Amino acid sequence: MLPNIVFHTRVYDESSDTYSWKDMTTEDYFANKKVIVFSLPGAFTPTCDTYQLPHFEAMYDLFAEEHGIDEIYCISVNDAFVMNAWAKKQNLKNVKVIPDGSGLFTKEMGMLVKKDNLGFGLRSWRYAMIVDNGNIISVFVEEGKEDNHAEDPYEYTKPQYIMEWMNAHKA
């Protein structure tokens, strides 16, 4: 099961053209849904900004049609303001961002690492997972997880890799 966390989010209200605070729980995001979650070191960073987020956005319909995915979530140890600005810059229509500003979810997942060597502080190791109604079906973790890792591996959390895995494990 996923950790039970409260995420402090900022939600846009089109009618007033403003954002307001809204607390969302793990259950709010994951109950009665089949989702893909991917987590990354930080919004606006090269691999995350250029490849991972845009490729998940582009492949959303394929995941939904071929595997019944209801949502794709991107979680990062960034605050709601940063995550919303990144989503806006990326012009996201399909992937939803979840701010884990204090790293509580990431810590409970065992994926919190130090990135002081890059000036980031505590961040998420790159991982992805398939979750069905709050139950973790499969987790994909990049190799070499350690504090202050000099590299930023990106192989097992690519949407193409996850699609290949899902195709090979169809029920």
Catalytic residue IDs: 48
β-pair partners for 36:
72, 130
DSSP secondary structure, 86-138, as one string: HHHHTT-SSEEEEE-TT-HHHHHTT-EEE-GGGT--EEEPPEEEEEETTEEEE
Instruction: Please give the Cα distance from 79 to 3 (Å, whole number).
Output: 19
* Cβ-contact 98, 82 below 8 angstroms: no
